[in-house]
Amino acid sequence: MARSDRYLRLLLLLLISATFFEGYDSSILALLLPNIQSTFHVSEALLGVTRIPIELGLFVAFFVARQSDRVGRRPLLLWSVVGYTIFGGLTALSWDIWSFTFFQFASRVFLGAEFSVAITMVVEEFPVARRARALGTLLTFEGLGTIMVAILLGLGLQNGGLDWRAFFLVGIVPLIVLTFLRRRMHETERFEEERKKREHGEAIPRMPFLAAWAPRYRRNLVLVGMVYLMRSIPFFGATAWWAYYAERERGFTETEVAVYILVAYGIGCLGYYVCGRLMERIGRRPTAMIYFVGAVIFSVILFQTTDRVVSFFALMLAVGFGLGVQPVLSAFGTELFPTEIRGQAAAWVRNWFEIAGYVFGPALVGILGDHATGAIGNVGDTVSLLMIMQLPGIFLIWRHMPETKGRELDELTPEEALLSEAALT
C-alpha cells in the first residue's frame, strides 16, 4: 500500500533534521576551532591530533548504521537522533579537550548513522516518481546547515556568554521535534515486508558483517564505492581548505570569506534541488556526469583565478555542482542494492569509502600544499591537481553505472541490477 502524501511530507520533515544537522555539526567544528582552542588552552598540534578520533566517529557509525537491516530503519533513526542530541548537548558542557573530543566522537557516530538511515528511508518510502526530488530536498538541508552556522557566526552567537558552546546547544532542537512527532513515523514498508519474510524463513535472519561483499552485490559495491572515494578526496580537500586558500593565497579578508560562503553557498544549494529534478527527468547517469564535470571545471577555476568576481561565481557553481551531486550519489548508494542489504551497502559506501576521502582529502592538500615544506607548496594548485581524481569517477559512471531512472526498487532484481554493465532501461 502506498503511503499518503501527508505522511511522506511529515517523514521528509523528520528526516530533514538528520541532514541539516550533519551539515551544521561539521561546519561548527571547522569554523569554531580557534575558539575551542582558546577555551581549552591547547596547542595547534594537539588540536590537529584530536580531529582524528573525532572524524573516526563517522567511520564507527558504519557499525551502527548496518544494524538498520536487522532492527529496522525507524528504531535506529530514533535512537541515533537521541544519541546525537545527547552527545551534542554534552559537548557544550565539555570541561577539557579530551572530554570535548570524546563527546564529539560519540556525536559523530550517531550523526553518521542517522544520515545513512535517513537516505535509506527516503529511497524506500517514496515512490519512484518523487524519490529523486525528495532526495534533492532532503540533501539541500545539509547545505543549509552550513549556512545556518555562517548566519549564527554573523550574528555573533560565539561572542555571547556561552561562546562556542551555544552552537552545540542548538543541536538539541531535533530531539524536541522528535519528541512530539516520533509516534507518527512508521517503519518503512519494504523493511516490514523483509521482516515478514524472515519470520516465515524466506530470508536470511541476520546479515553477516561482510554480507554486502558477497559476489552478487560486490560489483556495485566496489563501483559505487570507488565513485564515492574519487569524488570525496578532492571534494573534501577543497571544502576544508577554501577559506584558508582565499585568505592566505588570494588576500581575502575574514569578512569577505564569510560573505562569499554565505551568499555563494546559499545560491549554490539550489544545486541539490536541481539535481533531484534533473535525475528524475534525464536519469541518474547523465545527471551524475554533468555534475561531476561541472564540479571539476568550476573547482579548478575557483582555485586558480585571482579575479574576485570570477571567484564568487566559481564558488557558487562549484558548490552547486560539487555539493549538489549528493542526491544522485545517494541514489547510486541505495537503489542499486536489494532491501535486505540496502542499509549495509549504503553504510559501507558512505562510512568507509566516502569517509576515507573525508580523512585523506584534507590531509593530502595540507601536506602537499604546505607553504613551507609541501612538494607543491600551495593549496590552489594542490586542490586543482587532486580534482583530476574525479575524472576516473566520471569514466566509471559512463562506462559501468546502471541506470535506475523510473524503476521501482522491487523491479530491480539482484541479478539484473548487479550484473548489468550498461543502462538497465
* By CB under 8 A, residue 231 contacts another protein: no
- Report which residue type is found at 199: E
Task: Decide if 151 contacts 28 (C-beta within 8 A).
Answer: no
373 binds another protein (CB under 8 A): yes
Binding mask 70-109 for another protein (x = CB under 8 A): ----------------------------------------
Is residue 184 near another protein by the rule CB under 8 A?
Answer: no
Identify which of residues 392 and 406 has a Cβ nearer to another protein in the complex.
392
Q: Which set of grid coordinates corresponds to residue 10?
A: 511529515
Verify binding: residue 208, another protein, rule CB under 8 A: yes
Q: Which of 9, 38, 179, 310 lies at the binding interface for another protein (CB under 8 A)? A: 38
Work out whether 244 is an interface residue with another protein (CB under 8 A): no
160 contacts another protein (rule: CB under 8 A): no
Applying CB under 8 A, among 51, 130, 186, 216 the residue interacting with another protein is 216
From residue 102 to residue 141, what is the string marking binding to another protein with x (rule CB under 8 A)? Answer: ----------------------------------------
Distance between CA atoms of residues 24 and 152, nearest Å: 11
Segment contacting another protein by CB under 8 A, of 269-277, 324-332, 343-351, 369-377: 369-377
Asked whether position 157 contacts another protein by CB under 8 A, the answer is no
43 binds another protein (CB under 8 A): yes
3-state per-residue secondary structure call for 151-198: HHHHHCHHHCCCCCHHHHHHHHHHHHHHHHHHHHCCCCHHHHHHHHHH
Q: Which three cell numbers stand for residue 64?
A: 551502527
Whether the CB-CB separation of 18 and 118 falls below 8 Å is answered with yes
Whole-number Å distance between alpha carbons of 122 and 135: 7
Which of 113, 150, 317, 418: binder of another protein (CB under 8 A)? 418
Nearest to 303 by CA among 328, 322, 329: 322
Candidates 2, 9, 44, 408: give the one binding another protein (CB under 8 A).
44
**Is 370 an interacting residue with respect to another protein (CB under 8 A)?**
yes
User: Which residues in 247-266 contact another protein (CB under 8 A)?
Assistant: 247-255
User: At closest approach, how far in Å is the CB of 275 from another protein?
Assistant: 23
C-beta of 115 vs 228, nearer to another protein: 228
Report the site for another protein in 270-309 (rule: CB under 8 A).
Answer: 306
Map 69-110 to HEC letters: HHHCHHHHHHHHHHHHHHHHHHHHCCCCHHHHHHHHHHHHHH
- Read off the C-alpha cell for 58: 563517522
Instruction: Kindly indicate which of the ranges 194-202, 284-292, 316-324, 370-378 contains the residues binding another protein, using the contact rule CB under 8 A.
Output: 370-378
Query: Do 347 and 330 meet the contact criterion of CB atoms below 8 Å apart?
Result: no
Q: Does residue 289 contact residue 237 with C-beta atoms inside 8 Å?
A: no
Q: How many distinct helices (H) and strands (E) make up the chain?
A: 20, 0
Contacts of 242 (CB under 8 A, 6+ apart): 302, 303, 315
Q: Which three cell numbers stand for residue 394?
A: 566520471
Q: Exposed/middle/buried for 128, CB within 10 Å: 0-12, 13-18, 19+?
A: middle
Is residue 34 a contact point for another protein (CB under 8 A)? yes
User: Among residues 374, 407, 423, 424, which is the contact residue for another protein, using CB under 8 A?
Assistant: 374
Q: How near is the Cβ of 367 to another protein at its closest, in Å?
A: 6
Count CA atoms closer than 13 A to 125's CA, side-chain side.
Answer: 25
User: With CB under 8 A, what is the number of residues at the site for another protein?
Assistant: 65
Q: Is 59 in the site for another protein (CB under 8 A)?
A: no
Q: What is the DSSP letter of 203?
A: S
Mention every residue, 6+ apart, whose C-beta is less than 8 A from residue 19: 115, 118, 138, 139, 141, 142, 145
- Of 335-364, binders to another protein (CB under 8 A) are 364
Question: Which chain residues interact with another protein by CB under 8 A?
Answer: 34-35, 37-44, 159, 208, 210-211, 213-219, 221-223, 226, 230, 247-255, 306, 364, 367-368, 370-378, 380-382, 384-385, 388-389, 391-392, 395-396, 399-400, 415, 418-419, 421
